[in-house]
């Protein structure tokens, strides 16, 4: 076993003489949708703290929506939908390659024998808790975090990335590793924008998700069509555009982190010249522009309580991806395309019209109040 994350465990395995990485998903993460979007979902009761299942709320989250979220917002399906989209578009280079999924019957003794050698720590832990002679099933339940052995454990077979750095390379201060990451960043930024053009938002962009210049984790990613897309009306129509902006903001945090490491390296390293998302204070140094008067929409995030304003729009809105055109073209055998055009900045005329319209609305409101 290589490691454990929030949703999964990762294993190095050999199949027919070839080495792969197999990602197995924790049972709870395949059952409970992770759909919180801060700040618009601050008032929804989220029940991970007491490990009880999420419950639909008739006012905000209906049972029908919850049923869709199980397919659109759980870790296993999140990854499957991303890899399926990239395969149908011929863009599998945008992430680590996936070869398919597996189902493990953990109630089968033959399957258990493959995992039990890694569960000695779980056996000792159960003994300390009072279970002096835990059965193999007890060990599997505890170690694999899979309560119901009658339900299959899901897994995805991925390309093995033979990286000498390991998953902790991003935290390293080794100058050679820093230079390597700086060389990777232009391509990784292009790939992130290509994911947005493909109708995909990552939602969890950080250095630890990349291995040797490849994005390897899509367990938080959402793909159009989605229950939170503009067609459903469950969430605002700008939801995916806002999340795409947050993806770019998080990538900018990665760039800033590399800048700091390059500055502290001995000898000092040459910095990159990339900008994924302009810093907010840049607008304070520019002459006033009508389109910057606000108010601004928030960036919708899942792991940050601070409110981040979307002061500008991302280059591509993933929600505009034409997934119907892709389905039609693939059925006919043609090359798949669902091109998302670049978002245009508001023109001066458009900005002036919006300002005039806003002023007129304010004047009309004042007249109504006087009446």
Can you read off the two tokens belonging to residue 364? 């009309």
**Euclidean distance between CA atoms 89 and 354, whole angstroms:** 38
Can you read off the two tokens belonging to residue 210? 């990349």
Residue 115: its H or E element: helix 109-115
Residue 212, classed as helix, strand or coil, is: coil
* DSSP sequence for 156-171: EEEE----SS-TTGGG
Tell me which long-range contacts 159-164 makes (C-beta under 8 A, separation of at least 24).
Answer: 159/20, 159/21, 159/96, 159/97, 159/98, 159/99, 160/12, 160/19, 160/20, 160/21, 161/21, 161/96, 161/211, 161/212, 161/214, 161/216, 162/19, 162/212, 163/211, 163/212
Can you read off the two tokens belonging to residue 5? 């994350």
Closest CA to 320 of 240, 202, 266: 240
**Euclidean distance between CA atoms 119 and 134, whole angstroms:** 11
**Euclidean distance between CA atoms 56 and 248, whole angstroms:** 32
> Annotated binding site: which residue ranges?
23
Q: Residue 320: CB partners within 8 Å, gap ≥ 6?
A: 340, 341
Closest CA to 215 of 72, 83, 59, 51: 83
Can you read off the two tokens belonging to residue 159? 């390309």
**Euclidean distance between CA atoms 193 and 263, whole angstroms:** 27
**Euclidean distance between CA atoms 92 and 85, whole angstroms:** 9
> Annotated binding site for ATP: which residue ranges?
23
């Amino acid at each position: 076993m290589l490691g454990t994350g929030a949703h999964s465990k990762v294993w190095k395995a050999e199949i027919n003489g070839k080495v792969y990485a197999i990602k197995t998903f924790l049972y709870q993460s395949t059952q409970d949708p992770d759909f919180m979007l801060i700040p618009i979902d601050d008032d929804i009761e989220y029940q991970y703290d007491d490990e009880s299942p999420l419950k639909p709320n008739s006012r905000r989250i209906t049972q029908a929506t919850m049923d869709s979220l199980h397919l659109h917002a759980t870790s296993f399906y999140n990854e499957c939908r991303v890899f399926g989209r990239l395969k149908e578009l011929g863009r599998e280079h945008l992430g680590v390659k996936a070869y398919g999924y597996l189902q493990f019957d953990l109630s089968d003794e033959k399957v258990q024998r493959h995992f039990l050698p890694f569960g000695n720590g779980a056996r000792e832990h159960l003994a300390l808790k009072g279970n002096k002679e835990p059965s193999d099933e007890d060990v599997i339940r505890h170690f694999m975090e899979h309560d119901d052995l009658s339900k299959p454990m899901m897994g995805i077979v991925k390309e093995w990335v033979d990286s000498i750095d390991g998953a902790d390379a991003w935290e390293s201060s080794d100058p050679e590793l820093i230079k390597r990451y700086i060389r990777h960043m232009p391509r990784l930024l292009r790939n992130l924008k290509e994911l947005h053009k493909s109708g995909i938002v990552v939602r969890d962009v950080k250095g630890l998700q990349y291995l040797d210049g490849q994005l390897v984790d899509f367990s938080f990613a959402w793909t159009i069509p989605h229950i939170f897309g503009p067609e459903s009306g469950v969430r605002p129509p700008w939801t995916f555009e806002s999340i795409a902006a947050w993806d770019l903001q998080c990538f900018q945090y990665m760039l800033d982190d590399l800048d700091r490491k390059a500055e502290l390296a001995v000898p000092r390293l040459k910095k990159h010249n990339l900008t994924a998302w302009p810093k907010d204070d840049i607008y304070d140094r520019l002459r006033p522009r009508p389109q910057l008067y606000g108010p601004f929409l928030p960036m919708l995030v899942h792991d940050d309580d601070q409110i981040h304003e979307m002061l500008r729009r991302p280059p591509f809105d993933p929600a505009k991806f034409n997934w119907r055109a892709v389905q039609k073209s693939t059925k006919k055998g043609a090359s798949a395309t669902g091109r998302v055009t670049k978002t245009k900045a508001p023109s001066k005329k458009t900005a002036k019209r919006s300002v005039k319209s806003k002023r007129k609305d304010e004047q009309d409101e004042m007249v109504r109040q006087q009446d």
